[in-house]
């Protein structure tokens, strides 16, 4: 039986996916068995045609094709169904990594370190990395030593778990088709199922998608406006996810003293003119770093409040 299956959806992957395929080809499992399940999620040109040369490499793989506008959770579920590994490594198609990455995940599952194993996904891997990319790497588990991590920090670009666990919770939520929340929602259901979580910063992948601050802010508005609302309706027990309770009316429940203070602070600091000013400043200077957090959480709250994106940011479609 295959020990571990890499499940990887891809849609119009380009040169980043070519580099990912080179990394997959280089994997050395030593005494282990593995496979790659590559799910073409409606690419304009079928993956098997566009990447025929790279896919001719000798590594164990299955290639599946889905038609349509793209639904990454559905592609992951199709890959899960087609997999034969007892463990699943959930990866993205814009990563570069060393030859021992899959084996490092496999060793954790052999040792039963935890039910869910997460490695680091590094944005600031180039010498020319911006302050924004360095801040992105400092969030959540960034810089912390190996050990347990909270469910809300789940990121599936470099995350493995037992296939039985993923099947038991019903796989990925196929209603989450736009940016934001897919990984967090999975983490919440893992936690509800009693899963344990382990962070290993030595298992690293380089994220080849060098997102800009402006694009990131657009995504956070999109997340707040769409998927965050959906998650809070589906899972009322998620709590104060990305500051959602600070967007409620001042004296709405829950209304502890700190919560009321934060709601008041939110109303004062998330004025459109101030948000625009901070975005321009950070785009130009990138410091102090805590203002990236302001733009991130603030963008999500403004989206949740259904505020006008152009008015708040000075950016247009």
DSSP string, 209-232: ----HHHHHHHHHHHHHTHHHHHH
304 lies in which domain range?
Answer: 213-313
Q: What is the pTM of this model?
A: 0.94
Q: Looking at the structure, tell me whether residues 14 and 143 fall in a common domain.
A: yes
- Residues 239, 177 within the same domain: no
Q: Are residues 191 and 286 in the same domain?
A: no
Helix-helix angle 213-225:227-234, to 10 degrees: 40
CB 27 within 8 A of CB 99: yes
Residues 72 and 108 in one domain: yes
Contact 108, 198 (CB under 8 A): yes
**Cα–Cα distance measured from residue 205 to residue 121, given in angstroms and rounded to the nearest whole number:** 5
The answer on 218 and 202 residing in a single domain is no
Please check whether residues 36 and 159 belong to one and the same domain: yes
The pLDDT, as a whole number, for residue 311 is: 96
pLDDT at 142: 87
Per-residue pLDDT of the chain (317 residues; tens, 9 = 90+): 799 999 999 999 999 999 999 999 999 999 999 999 999 999 999 999 999 999 999 999 999 999 999 999 999 999 999 999 999 999 999 999 999 999 999 999 999 999 999 999 999 999 999 999 999 999 889 889 999 999 999 999 999 999 999 999 999 999 999 999 999 999 999 999 999 999 999 999 999 988 899 999 999 999 999 999 999 999 998 888 988 998 988 888 888 899 999 999 999 999 999 999 999 999 999 999 999 999 999 999 999 999 999 999 999 86
Q: Give strand pairing partners of 200.
A: 119
Of the residues 149, 181, 207, the one at which a domain ends: 207
Between CA 95 and CA 23 the distance in angstroms is 8
Looking at the structure, do residues 25 and 63 belong to the same domain, yes or no? yes
**What is the rounded distance in angstroms from the CA atom of residue 29 to the CA atom of residue 104?**
9
Same structural domain, 151 and 240:
no
Contact 242, 165 (CB under 8 A): no
Residues 67 and 197 in one domain: yes
Task: Give the count of beta carbons closer than 10 Å to the beta carbon of residue 247.
Answer: 21
- 289 and 151 within one domain: no
Query: Do 179 and 258 belong together in one domain?
Result: no
Identify the domain boundary among 207, 228, 255: 207
Q: From 165, 190, 207, give the residue that closes a domain.
A: 207
Give yes or no: residues 149 and 222 share one domain: no
């Amino acid at each position: 039986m295959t020990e571990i299956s890499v499940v990887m959806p891809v849609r119009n992957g380009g040169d980043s996916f070519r580099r990912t395929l080179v990394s997959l080809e280089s994997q050395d499992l030593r005494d282990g068995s593995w496979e790659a399940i590559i799910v073409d999620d409606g690419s304009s040109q079928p993956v098997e045609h566009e990447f025929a040369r790279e896919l001719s490499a000798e590594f164990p793989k299955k290639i599946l094709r889905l038609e349509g506008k793209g639904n990454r959770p559905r592609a992951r579920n199709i890959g899960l169904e087609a997999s034969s590994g007892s463990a699943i490594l959930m990866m993205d198609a814009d990563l570069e990594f060393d030859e021992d990455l899959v084996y490092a995940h496999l060793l954790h599952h052999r040792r039963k370190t935890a039910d869910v194993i997460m490695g680091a996904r590094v944005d600031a891997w180039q010498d020319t990395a911006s302050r924004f990319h360095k801040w992105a790497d400092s969030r959540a588990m960034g810089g912390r030593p190996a050990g347990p991590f909270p469910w809300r920090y789940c990121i599936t670009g470099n995350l493995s778990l037992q296939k039985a666990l993923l099947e038991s919770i019903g796989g990925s939520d196929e209603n989450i088709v736009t940016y934001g929340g897919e990984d967090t929602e999975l983490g919440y259901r893992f936690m509800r199922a009693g899963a344990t979580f382990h962070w290993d910063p030595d298992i690293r992948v380089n994220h080849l998608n060098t997102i800009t601050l402006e694009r990131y802010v657009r995504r956070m508005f999109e997340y707040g406006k769409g998927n965050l609302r959906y998650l809070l309706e589906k899972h009322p027990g998620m709590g104060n996810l990305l500051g959602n309770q600070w967007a409620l009316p001042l004296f709405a429940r829950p209304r502890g003293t700190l919560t009321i203070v934060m709601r008041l602070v939110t109303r004062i600091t998330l004025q459109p003119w101030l948000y625009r000013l901070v975005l321009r400043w950070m785009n130009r200077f990138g410091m102090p770093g805590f203002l990236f957090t302001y733009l991130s959480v603030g963008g999500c709250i403004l989206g949740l409040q259904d505020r006008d994106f152009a008015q708040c940011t000075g950016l247009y479609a």
